[in-house]
Amino acid sequence: MIRRAVRFLDARAGASPLLRRTLRYVFPDHWSFLLGEIALYCFLILVATGTYLALFFDPSHAQVVSHGSYAPLDGLPVSRQFQSTVDISFKVTAGLLMRQTHHWAALVFLVAITLHLFRIFFTGAFRKPRELNYMVGLTMLALALLEGYAGYSLPDDLLSGMGLVIGYSVALSIPVVGASVATLVWGGRFPGAEEFWSRLYIVHVLVLPVLIGALIAVHLVLIARPRHTDFPAPGRTERRVRGTPLWPGYALRSGGLFLATAAVLVLLGGLVQINPVWQWGPFHTYLSTNGAQPDWYLGWLIGALRLMPPIEPHVFGYTLFPNPFFGGVLFPMMVFGLLYAWPWLERRLTRDHAVHHLLDRPRDRPRRTALGAAFFGFVAVIFLAGSADRIFLAFGIPYEGQIWFFRAAVFWVPVAAYWLTRRVCEELRDLDAHPLRGWRGRVVRRTEAGGFAPAGASTPPADGAPATARPGAGPARPGAD
């Protein structure tokens, strides 16, 4: 049976050598290498659940009178998008399960991509020859953010409408061409023409998923060509990769990871409510709600919009840069610009043009790790500022005071994070041991006369010289300076 299938394929596609190499492809083992796989599996689950939802969702903005699905909405005029979303939730078999699994999968997708990016950055996996693939990955992150935003904007509920009007204001704030961009995308002034909803829908269900899917293919090819990176250890060199072959061991384990990802997402989708649009109600430009929060992955952008001081430069009474430009355009461009440029910046800083297949331990590169921590601290402060209203509700800390605190923290947290991380990394690298077990003291023994003398050493070390030998520890690691 299998023999016949292989013969069939080989006779028609000449696939045997490729199949054999693929089945023997070696995967190094480390838990952090699974983050990207989880992102990939989330994408598959998103496509599967999204396809099911698309069988029932109606992207039309035509107004209908709600009835039947959810009693409190009965008699209210709502759009077909909103009505079909509520119908999917309450009338379609497994509709709510699929909708919530889809939403959870989107949230976990972006968590996995972000953690994967951290892994790549802090272990130096972006270095030559993988800079190109690093940029493909960053592009997928940007597209995934857009895709998530487009997805939760589709149902035309109150929260999504608030997100859309903010997106419209950000588009409007682009220098020089903002008015044209916003009115062209929306087909007029917000809330825009009927066609806007067709555009949003096709972007969410076709354009962005196809782009992401194509980039995933490129990403995988660019991973497989030079083989995987790995941490340095005996038997793992720049020339060779050591690990589990795809077939059968790794395929079964990775298939297990896919099924486990799907299990967690379906359990979340079945048991933990997410985005109950029937509670928010339909959107109108004249409605909003307090305590509105976007999906987590847009927290850094809402934080930037909230944190920005009220600056709107103008000349002779004509506005130049509307305020949302700074938080909604400049800030994300800066974040992504720095991330895209990093491999080249680091190459310039370290003058390291060599090919690297072995990964760094973060603590062995204190400067990179510290710069990464500073950058992360900068974005994290702004992200946290986005939840200042929730902090006020939970702890009663006045909102306005928090904003002033965060505005200052944007400047000092990166500095503190840099200094602290660099110190910790250097200390760890030098000790080559756990910080709590690392001990730099000297053993002394009390003499009969009442004084102290170094124990067991006839020649005490010179004053001021660091004592590198520790009780129970081997010789200091060569090369640790």
Partner 1 sequence: MSGLARALGWAAAALVLLLARRLRRRPEPAQLAPPPAEDASPAPPEHLPDPRAELWVAGLLGLAALLAAGFVVVDVLDPRHATQLMGLCLGLCLAALAAAAVLAGKRLVAQETAVEERPQLEHPEEQERVADLIEQPRRGISRRRLLKAAAGAAGAAVGGALIVPLASLGPVADQQELLKEDPWRSGTRLIDLEGRALAAAAVPLGGFVSAFPEGADPESLGSPLVVLRIAVDQLRLPPERAGWAPEGIMAFSKICTHAGCAIELFRYPLYAPTSPGPALVCPCHYSTFDVRTGGERTFGPAARPLPQLPLQIDGDGHLRAGGPLSAPPGPSWWGVRL
Closer residue to partner 1 (CB): 85 or 101: 101
Closer residue to partner 1 (CB): 241 or 417: 241
Per the CB < 8 A criterion, the answer to whether 76 and 65 are in contact is: yes
Mind giving me the DSSP string for 72-140?
GGTT-EEEHHHHHHHHHHHTSTTHHHHHHHHHHHHHHHHHHHHHHHHHHHHTTTTSTT-HHHHHHHHHH
Closer residue to partner 1 (CB): 337 or 398: 398
User: How far are the Cα atoms of 12, 187, 443, 462 from residue 459, in angstroms, in the given order?
Assistant: 79, 85, 13, 9
Closer residue to partner 1 (CB): 232 or 248: 248
Distance between CA 381 and CA 371 in Å, rounded? 15
CB of 262 to partner 1, least distance (A): 5
- CA-nearest of 385, 379, 390 to 405 is 385
CB of 91 to partner 1, least distance (A): 10
Closer residue to partner 1 (CB): 204 or 357: 357
CB of 403 to partner 1, least distance (A): 8
Per the CB < 8 A criterion, the answer to whether 356 and 124 are in contact is: yes
Closer residue to partner 1 (CB): 19 or 424: 19
Closer residue to partner 1 (CB): 142 or 193: 193
Q: Which residue has the tokens 């790794």?
A: 250
Q: Dihedral of the CA atoms 418, 424, 427, 433 (nearest 10)?
A: -150
CB of 60 to partner 1, least distance (A): 16
- CA-nearest of 102, 106, 356 to 228 is 356
Residue 440: CB partners within 8 Å, gap ≥ 6? 466, 467, 470
Closer residue to partner 1 (CB): 124 or 191: 191
Distance between CA 180 and CA 172 in Å, rounded? 8
CB of 476 to partner 1, least distance (A): 27
CB of 397 to partner 1, least distance (A): 14
Closer residue to partner 1 (CB): 25 or 300: 25
CB of 441 to partner 1, least distance (A): 38
CB of 104 to partner 1, least distance (A): 11
Which structure tokens are listed for 431?
């000790």
Which structure tokens are listed for 237?
């060199």
CB-count exposure of residue 165 (10 Å: 0-12, 13-18, 19+): middle
CB of 273 to partner 1, least distance (A): 9
CB of 400 to partner 1, least distance (A): 6
Beta bridge partner(s), residue 364 = none
Residue 12: CB partners within 8 Å, gap ≥ 6? none
Per the CB < 8 A criterion, the answer to whether 166 and 321 are in contact is: no
Per the CB < 8 A criterion, the answer to whether 73 and 86 are in contact is: yes
Closer residue to partner 1 (CB): 183 or 468: 183
Q: How many CA atoms lie within 13 A of 106 on its CB side?
A: 27
CB of 241 to partner 1, least distance (A): 5
Closer residue to partner 1 (CB): 358 or 433: 358
